[in-house]
Structure formats: structure tokens, C-alpha cells
Amino acid sequence: MRLTNTLLRQHIGFFFKKHWLQQGKRVPNSTGAEEELAARGITVVDPSEVLKEQRPREDFNIPGMVPPPVALDETHPLWKAEPAYVYGDTNVLLEGVRQAQSLLNTAVYDDLPLKVEEKLEQTKITAQLDRSMQQAVLSALVFDTEQVKNAIVKVPDRPAYKLPRTYGISEGRRNQLILSKLVTHCERFAGRSVNANRKVVFNARFLVPLVKDSERVLLNLKAESMIISQDPLKPLDTSVYRPLDVELPNLFPLKETVSIPVQNIYDWKNEYPISRNYKLSHPHTILIHCSPSDVKNATELPVSRDQIEGRTMLKAFTVAAARARQLYGDDVKTLPSPITVQAVQTDSKTFHFSVYQLNTLDLGSSTERNMWFRKAPLDLYSECGYIVGKPTLADYNKDVLRHFAVFYSN
């Protein structure tokens, strides 16, 4: 039946809407109760004035309930009026090592220190330990029982094409397992006398506030694993390496803080996670994870190898600077004794070994300069996984374990 005006006059929905509008316009009639009460001397009061009681708000925690998120505005407890450049674990520098050099007043050398190279030439890994390490690599990267969705793989030529998701061991667990296996084999190599002066801590957080050219820079970084020791590493002789003879790169027209995000919410303090009263409090070697899902570019471009190495330098500097301020005070510039930290960064396949020596915290000094020694990245293997249903470890490189053993026993 066609809907016409005649039909709609008798429609139940039309009638209900009209009736609702009409009833909503009714004016309540006076019952005379208020006048009667006033004649008897009784005051009429609005109930809301009597029943509504102003009580202070009491916050309490209910077990099992998720607390509400903290607002990221001026009400945040860590809000600062002056913004700062905050460098975190997921950030990388736009210019990589060159920018890190200029920011941290550091001279870069494309080889490890001479005494480390001499130990590498003298160090030999036994065949038994080498075979055990190969089995450990397969155990960590192939035989582990974790099965989760792996990261999304993109085809560069077809960015909109979605490949089927694969299941396997997550990147974080692969990095954790392979580093744990390497540390275990280094303990077997070094012996009890060295192991007694070493300890491994996990997820150590470091905070280092800096002021460079009247701008605030906060390094808020984490070392997934860190080897600590009873005695500090012996500092390198600056008269041999002459860091002042190394020219720092010129980033003009870029600023040294380019690509570092600016925030108003940050904790402006120095933090070293281990008490100075603990006998094994000296930083020895930091073990850093670096997978494609861990870091990203502000420009959304792929992260380059140079940017990854610049991230290693910043993390090593942060650990050394946090320790220096814990020992010598937050206002120290010229250190009484340099602080040396070794760093190993990996994505479970490629390993990057480096050594950082902190000589000064005066980042604008022209009389002192920090030093960073790096080695070309080493691949532990070319392929590791199931090939035609068979677990395979192809092109295993024993030099990775040899470098790791020298760093551990240094």
C-alpha cells in the first residue's frame, strides 16, 4: 500500500509522535499545597539543597581494574614548561654516526683498540666449544618452541601487496636467546676466575640529561642485557690515538638535534640502575637488541646500517655518562678518570662490536674529546632455519664467538 497523507493520519507511529509532542507541552497545575504550607508557617525548600552533600573525592584502587590512562598534558606529573629533545630506544639519528660524532664530541676509529686486536690474534676457540656453539645457535633460532606471528614483510616493488603471515620465534626472543648462548659459552671459555667478577643484568634503564648549545637533550635508553664487573675497564691512552687530531663532521645546515623528537613530558635527572655501593657496579659490556621492529625513522624510510651504528654509539655514551655522574656528581665536566664501555649490538644474525671511552662531559670542549672504536659488522651465519624440512645452519662464522670471548674476558 502506498504511503499517502491520508494513510499517515491513521498510522500508529505518526499518532504516537504527535501524542508525545502534545504531552510534552503540558503545564503542571498548582495543587495549592505550597500555599497551604506557607499559611501554616512551614518553609518550602528545594530538595537538592538538602540532599546534595559536597564530599571530597576519594580515589581508591579496585583489584583487577585497569587504572585510567594519565593525560599527556599540563596535568601530567612529569610535565615541564621548557621542551627538550628526548632520544629513546625507538629513535635513530638522521645522519647516523656523523650526527652522533658532532652531538657527543666524539672521534671515531674504524677498528678496535690495539690491545683488543692483539688479544683477538692470540685467542683460539677450541673445536669442542665451536661445535657446542653451533648447536646452541640452532637451539636458539630453530628449535625454540615459541610460535607467534612474525613481523609483516613488505615487497618493495609492491607496497600494497600483503604476504601471508608466518609464525615463528619473535625477534626479541631470538636476540635474547642468542646473546644468552654466547654469554654462556664465554663463561666456559674464560673460566671461574673471570666469571667470579662478572654478572649479567637485564633491562637496565639509563637517564642522562645534557645541555648542548643552550638546548636540553635527554638520553632515555635501555640496555637489554649488561655485563657488570668488579673492576672497571682500563682506559685507553689518548696520547696514542690523539682524538683531537680527528676532525669532527660539519652538519651545516642541519642542527645536531635534527630528527630527535621534542617533548614536554620527561624526567630531567641522571639515573644509573646499580648502586655504587655494590661491588659489581662497574659497566663492562652492554648487549643491545636491534631488530627492524625496534627502531624506525622519523621520515618512515628504511633504517640504514650507519644509523644503527650511531644508535650503538649513543647507548654506549649514555651508560658511561650515567656512571660518571654517579661517581663524580651531576655537574662534572672533566672526568678524573675516563670510563670505558664495550658494546655489542645484534639482530640475531649480524653482530657489531665497539668500544666507547668517555673522556669529557663537556660536549663543546676543544681541548678534550671522547673516543669510539668500531669493527665492521660480522654475520654469524648466512642462513639458519628449516630448508626442505631439515634444520640448517649455513656459513657459520666462529669469529663472532672469538670477538665475544675477548670482550667478556677483557
pLDDT recorded at residue 50: 77
pLDDT tens for 219-258 read: 999 999 999 999 999 999 999 999 999 999 999 899 999 9
Neighbours of 322 (CB within 10 A): 24
pLDDT recorded at residue 52: 67
pLDDT band at 67 (very low <50, low <70, confident <90, very high): confident
pLDDT tens for 372-395 read: 999 999 999 999 999 998 999 999
Of 272, 288, 258, give the one whose Cα is nearest residue 354.
288
Of 47, 396, 19, 81, give the one whose Cα is nearest residue 264.
81
pLDDT tens for 344-356 read: 999 999 999 999 9
pLDDT tens for 194-213 read: 999 999 999 999 999 999 98
- pTM summary value: 0.83
Q: Which residue has the cell 688479544?
A: 119
Neighbours of 331 (CB within 10 A): 7
Of 221, 237, 25, give the one whose Cα is nearest residue 115.
237
pLDDT recorded at residue 7: 65
What is the share, in percent, of the chain residues with pLDDT greater than 90?
72
Instruction: Give me the amino acid identity at 271.
Output: E
Does the pLDDT at position 59 exceed 80? no
pLDDT tens for 172-195 read: 999 999 999 999 999 999 999 999
